[in-house]
Amino acid sequence: MPVTETTPPVIEIRDLHKAYGALEVLKGVDMVAEKGEVVSLIGSSGSGKSTLLRCANLLEDSQQGEIRFEGEPVLWHGTGLGRRPGDHKQLIRIRTNLSMVFQQFNLWAHMTILENVIEAPVTVLKRDRHEAEALGRELLAKVGIGDKCDAYPAQLSGGQQQRAAIARALAMEPKALLFDEPTSALDPELEQEVVKVIKALAQEGRTMLLVTHDMRLAADVSDHVVFLHQGKIEEEGPPESLFGNPQTERLQQFLSHSQ
C-alpha cells in the first residue's frame, strides 16, 4: 500500500513521561515512526533509550503521555498495564505487532532454533504448526541460517543467535520491528552479519525503531535519527544533518566519543 497522508503512523508517541520511583527516566518524549520508516535512537548509556522502546510496545507502564498504534490510542495510565478488562488482548496485539529484538537475543535454550521461531506464532497467534514451520524455515534461510533449524541456541555463534532472534521477531508478521542494541553483544566480525540483515530489512521498507551504538549503521539505514539525552530529545533530524552537522554541544560531544 502506498504511504499517503491519510495513513496514520505505525507508532506515535506524544509527551511520554516515565519514572521508576523518584527517578524520572523519560521527561516528555515525542516520537513518530511512519509506515516504512526507520527511526534510530541514539544517546549515552542511561539516557532512556531502552525504556522508550519498552514503553512503545507496552512492556513498561508509564505515567503520562500518549501512545498510538496505527492511529489508535493504546495506553491507559494509572490502572497498571493489563489490569483493565480487555487490556490483555490489547497488550498481545501490540506486542505481536511491534516485535522486539533484544541485545542478548533471549532465545529459549531448551528449544531448537526452528522451535524458537514458531513458538509464539503457534501458541499466541494460533497458527497452524506446519504452516508456521514452513514460514520459520523460510525466515531462517532469509537471515542466512537455514541450515541451523534443528540446532540449539548454544550451538550457534552470537551473530547466528541474533539472526535467529530476528527471524523469530519476523515470524510474528509484525507491523514494526523494535531493535534494542542488536549488535552490542557481538564481536565486530559477527556484528557485520547482523548489520547486513538489518540493512536488508530496511531496504524492504520495514518500519523499524532501532536503538544502536553503531553510528555508521544509524547513518546508513535511518530516515530519521533521535538523540536522547537524560530522558529528553536533545536533537533530531535526518541522518545527514544529525551526523553531518550536529547543532547542540551535547550531540557534538556524544558523536566525538562514539566514533
Q: Indicate which single residue of 4, 20, 85, 109 sits in contact with ligand ADP (rule: CB under 6 A).
A: 20
Residue 45 is a binding residue for ligand ADP (CB under 6 A): yes
Q: Indicate which single residue of 9, 36, 48, 182 sits in contact with ligand ADP (rule: CB under 6 A).
A: 48
Range in contact with ligand ADP (rule: CB under 6 A) among 39-47, 91-99, 159-167, 168-176? 39-47
Identity (one letter) of the amino acid at 33?
A
Residue in 13, 21, 4 with CA at minimum distance from that of residue 178: 13
Binders of ligand ADP among residues 117 to 176 (CB under 6 A) are: none
SS (H, E, C) 22-45: CEEEEEEEEEEECCCCEEEEECCC
Query: Does the CA dihedral 62-66-70-72 come out positive or negative?
Result: positive
The residue among 37 and 180 lying less far from ligand ADP, judged by its C-beta, is: 180
**Under 8 Å between Cβ of 210 and 201:** no
Residue in 244, 184, 196 with CA at minimum distance from that of residue 219: 244
Residue number, nearest CB to Mg ion: 50
If phi > 0 it is left, if psi is from -120 to 50 it is alpha, else beta; for residue 201 that is alpha
Residue 47 is a binding residue for ligand ADP (CB under 6 A): yes
Residues binding ligand ADP: number (CB under 6 A): 11
Q: Indicate which single residue of 10, 11, 13, 25 sits in contact with ligand ADP (rule: CB under 6 A).
A: 25
Query: Which residues in this chain contact ligand ADP in the complex, by CB under 6 A?
Result: 20, 23, 25, 43, 45-51
